[in-house]
A and B are shown apart, each in its own frame.
Chain A
Amino acid sequence: AQSVTQLGSHVSVSEGALVLLRCNYSSSVPPYLFWYVQYPNQGLQLLLKYTTGATLVKGINGFEAEFKKSETSFHLTKPSAHMSDAAEYFCAVSVNTNAGKSTFGDGTTLTVKP
C-alpha cells in the first residue's frame, strides 16, 4: 500500500523568497515519486519525477526535489518564488515509472505575495 502526506495545505511566500513544499510518502516497495502543478481549471502538469539514480532531481520552472529514503521525504523547492508559481501542487507516488495508478497527496496551494 502507498500513501502520500503533504504537510501544509496552504503555503504563502513573498516574491523572491524560497519555496519549500513538503511531501512524505509511505510505500511497501521502492517508490517512484512525482510532483505536479495544477493551475485553475486546468489539468496537471509534471514538474519533476524521481525513478532511480540521482536523488536530487531538477524539474521545469526552476523547481527541484530531493529524494531522502531515510526520511521518506520528497520535498519540492525553488530558490526564488515568482508570481507565476502561484498554483496548487501535488505530490504523488507510484509503483510504475510512468506514474500509472498514482496515489496523490491532498495538494498544497502556493500563494506568492508581491
Chain B
Amino acid sequence: KAGVTQTPRYLIKTRGQQVTLSCSPISGHRSVSWYQQTPGQGLQFLFEYFSETQRNKGNFPGRFSGRQFSNSRSEMNVSTLELGDSALYLCASTLDMGSKETQYFGPGTRLLVL
C-alpha cells in the first residue's frame, strides 16, 4: 500500500505570492490533517478534513486555507506569503476520525519564502 504523498517536495516563493500544496492520503483513508513545522514554533496543527469537510482548525490566520476533494486528496493554500511562512508542511492521513488507527505522515513540503 502506498504511503502518504505530498507534492511538491520543495518550493521557493517570494513574499506576497500564494502557494498551493497537495497531499494524497493512503488509499482508503478519509481524514487528512495538516501541520506546520518551524524551528521556532515547532509542530503546529493547521486543520483537519474529513469527507470534504473541515472538522478542526488550529490557530492560524485566514491566509491559510485548505480543502479536500471527493477522492480524499487535500490541498492547502497560503495567500500573501510572509517570510515567517517558511516551514516544512506535513500532511497526515488516517482512516477516519473515530478510528483507533493512528495517522501516517507524508514526507512534507519544504517551503522557502524569500
Residues on A facing B (Cβ under 8 Å): 34, 36, 41-46, 49, 51, 90, 92, 96-107
Using CB atoms, name the residue of chain B closest to A107. Answer: B42
Q: How many residues of B contact A (CB 8 A)?
A: 29
Kindly report which residue of chain A lies nearest to residue B56, judged by CB atoms. A101
Does B24 touch A at the CB level, under 8 Å? no
CA distance A17 to B72 in the complex (A): 44
Nearest CB in chain B: distance from A7 CB, A = 15
Given contacts A100-B31, A102-B45, are A43 and B97 in contact (CB under 8 A)? no
Cβ of B95 within 8 Å of any chain A Cβ, yes or no, is yes
Q: How far is the CA of A102 from the CA of B104 in the complex (A)?
A: 13
Contact B90 A43 (CB under 8 A): yes
Query: What chain A residues lie within 8 Å of B95 (beta carbons)?
Result: 98
Contact A43 B108 (CB under 8 A): yes
Residues of chain B within 8 A of A43, CB atoms compared:
4, 90, 105-108
Given A43-B108, A96-B97, A101-B56: 20 more A-B contacts, CB < 8 Å: A43-B105, A43-B107, A44-B105, A46-B104, A51-B100, A90-B43, A92-B43, A97-B100, A98-B96, A98-B98, A99-B92, A99-B103, A100-B33, A100-B103, A101-B45, A101-B48, A104-B35, A104-B43, A104-B44, A105-B42
Q: Assess whether B102 is in contact with A46, with CB atoms less than 8 Å apart.
A: yes
Q: Could you tell me the distance in whole angstroms from the C-beta of A4 to the nearest C-beta in chain B?
A: 10
Main secondary structure of the interface of A (DSSP, over half): loop
Quote the shortest CB–CB distance from A29 to chain B (angstroms): 15
A34: chain B residues at CB < 8 Å are: 102
Tell me the minimal C-beta distance from B25 to chain A in angstroms.
Answer: 13
A90: nearest residue on chain B (CB-CB)?
B43
- CB-nearest residue of chain A to B31: A100
How distant is the Cα of A74 from the Cα of B100 in the complex, in angstroms? 19
> Which chain B residue has the least Cβ–Cβ distance from A36?
B105
| Residues of B close to A92: CB separation below 8 A | 43
B70 beta carbon closer than 8 Å to chain A: no
